[in-house]
Chains A and B, each alone.
Chain A
């Protein structure tokens, strides 16, 4: 048992603090996304939006959460109890797990017990970073499918099928557009993808088409309008969470907002330089204000970029009407996949030409 105790406990403590803080930040951001969504909708429709609970209605998300907690919890009689509870858990779990490989800022430096410690603001810098995100996202389908099936309701089941086939279909162009990006970066590590963009051009300048495809797929993966067919409440009943009530429904809805936040973070990291502060050489700034302040500023810059993306999600939601299901499938399979294949081939050609000239 000696070796078991030889773990770097400080390291585990650091990671634990990081995990807890990132999860609480995502929860708070998801909470205020619901508020922001209603405010943005209100601005776009020339209304006021929620303004009763607290100044400017900023306590509205708390009130909503309280309402969901207090509601009666109904589990349908014939449904499979265990799977019925597992569905929302899976949705929430997969939404949370993705944040593990995203770099949120540079390194923090401090001295503890006379020893220098550098802590990078990333939970796990694994060398398959972006594939890990893909793996977790593909697990997200199970939350939808298990929940829809365990409800024992044919409308839930059909909606779960709709949702799952949409998510699977749009994973393909997403992966293909990512392959083109990986040809440029030459690494799957999130930290080196972001590091390559710091103090240099952002990847979006090399991969505008790839970014556009990725953006569209991210909308579809998060089940956001124009692709929110799994829960088209006014045309197609309600969706896979039709039988859910109380906080279980809240988990499904909340997971969508966390997904929105995380997918914005992924897009920022992959295409928009991650935590890099634009127009400023980060290394020079570090000499002037120190590494800890730089990390804070970088985190702030990351969150501003993410906020812009989240606003874009809402902007699109209140601007573009929903697609029909066959249009959605046609867009995915007949437009986005050929486009991303084209993008991939062009990128491969350019990379080869740059490396070997015309004699490859």
Chain B
């Protein structure tokens, strides 16, 4: 049990715990705040795996920008009422069965993988560093990268068009 193992288990527990709290929080504001904590834990994992750039970009983009927009929307339409729409009995049953199936599939898929029982491999690989990532994105994966940027541009244009109406 060295420091990196302790950190790994702490971050994992934090990520899973806060992700559960995202789902079960009654107020949507708390859900968003717990989701931010989850992003922090995931960024911690990235940093432990020597992917500092990915870690900090995860924070800047998701926690710093997208979650702020979520908060904007929730605060402005005032979703703070605790009154949750009551879901029917059958809907709950269906949800439980579906979630259980997903859990089964995940456990079956991960049961025999070789990473089972291993902690994080600290400082292995350098694909998450900015030099390596930049080279990979702009040489090997340049076409998908550019196509996805066009996708973003079209989303932006669409937002402007809708906003102008």
Contacts and interface: CB of A to CB of B under 8 A. Distances in A.
A4 B52 contact: no
The bracket for how many chain A residues form the interface is 20 to 34
A138 interface: yes
A1 B60 contact: no
Interface stretch (B65-73, B90-98, B102-110): B65-73
A168 interface: yes
A126 B65 contact: no
B13 to A, nearest CB: 18
A126 B52 contact: yes
B3 A145 contact: no
A126 B6 CA distance: 22
A131 B29 CA distance: 27
Interface in A155-182: 157, 160-161, 164-165, 168
* Chain B contact residues, majority secondary structure: helix
B120 interface: no
B75 interface: yes
B142 interface: no
Interface string B57-81: 1011001110010011001100000
B63 A139 contact: yes
B42 interface: no
A4 B57 CA distance: 30
Contact of B72 (A3, A131, A161): A161
B127 interface: no
Contacts of A160: 75
Interface in A119-155: 126-128, 131-132, 134-135, 138-139, 141-142, 145-146, 149
A138 B65 contact: yes
Given A1-B1, A142-B36, A149-B29, A168 B56 contact: no
Contact of A145 (B6, B52, B68, B129): B68
A131 B64 contact: no
Given A3-B2, A4-B3, A141 B53 contact: no
Contacts, number: 62
A128 B52 contact: yes
Contacts of A7: 3
Nearest to B78: A157
Contact of A164 (B6, B56, B72): B72
B130 interface: yes
B53 A145 contact: no
Contacts of A135: 56, 59-60, 64
A161 B2 CA distance: 45
Nearest to A82: B30
B71 A145 contact: yes
B76 A161 contact: yes
Given A145-B68, A161-B72, A164-B72, A127 B52 contact: yes
A120 to B, nearest CB: 19
Given A127-B130, A141-B64, 7 more contacts: A3-B2, A127-B129, A134-B60, A138-B59, A142-B68, A142-B71, A168-B65
Interface of A: 1, 3-4, 7, 83, 126-128, 131-132, 134-135, 138-139, 141-142, 145-146, 149, 157, 160-161, 164-165, 168, 188
In the complex, the 10 A-B pairs of residues with the closest C-beta atoms, listed nearest first: A138-B64, A3-B2, A135-B59, A131-B56, A128-B52, A135-B56, A135-B60, A149-B75, A128-B56, A141-B68
